[in-house]
Amino acid sequence: MILIPSSNPLPYLRVEDFFTDVQLNQLILPEIEYLSKSSKLRSAEDTGAARDREGNIAKKNSGVFIEELYRDSSMSEISTVLKQFWNTKVCGAIESVGPWNRSFRQCNTTATLLSYYQDGDYYLPHIDDCHYTLLIWLWKEPRQFEGGQFIFNDTKEKLPMKNNSAVLFPSCYSHEVKKVTMENQMPFNGMGRYTISRFYWITQNSGDMCTFNGSHPIELPDGVNVV
């Protein structure tokens, strides 16, 4: 995992090589494959989609909240691996781009959404209803879709989107996903763009759709490099 703090024009944290090869091939991708092929993915209306002022849903994609599928989120490999991301090195890296990001260290509650973008799917500009957002981008190689770029709307910044990379940012940043296009338009063929979204809150009590993670980030001294 490589942490790349960025402060110009917006402060955020990019991450490359988010999952190790073992995590990706033995844990994460098999669970994604299972969720995709077992009809677990739901329509945009059922995944907490942002809406415009007229009440129209701002996205077109499919997805599912991990916490809705598992009574105990530790039964999910995705959720279990992501717990390791809330560690002291990541906290230090996001804090290095702005002192207000010290609040990430205080986050103790999470929810995890797996989203799938196929031909014609998108997410219009929106903000997330939490304190911090982590987005992890995954797809099968060779890449068989176009578009799907991630943009911070406040600065019109288009982030470099690499397979198995991620971005962590304050959820008040307006962001969007450009429309995905694919030659193979067969639904749920697994060749589109996957996003794992991890939402972070600071709360006193966890709700039904959240996982309470305790009060202190873990120590993770090895395997994380800060650029």
**Model confidence pLDDT, tens digit, residues 24-69:** 999 999 999 999 886 889 988 888 888 888 888 999 999 999 999 9
pLDDT at 155 over 80: yes
Per-residue pLDDT tens digits for 65-81: 999 998 888 899 999 99
- pTM above 0.85? yes
Which residues on adjacent β-strands are paired with residue 194? 116, 138
Please, what are the domains in the chain? 2-226 (2.60.120.620)
Do residues 49 and 58 touch, judged by C-beta distance below 8 A? yes
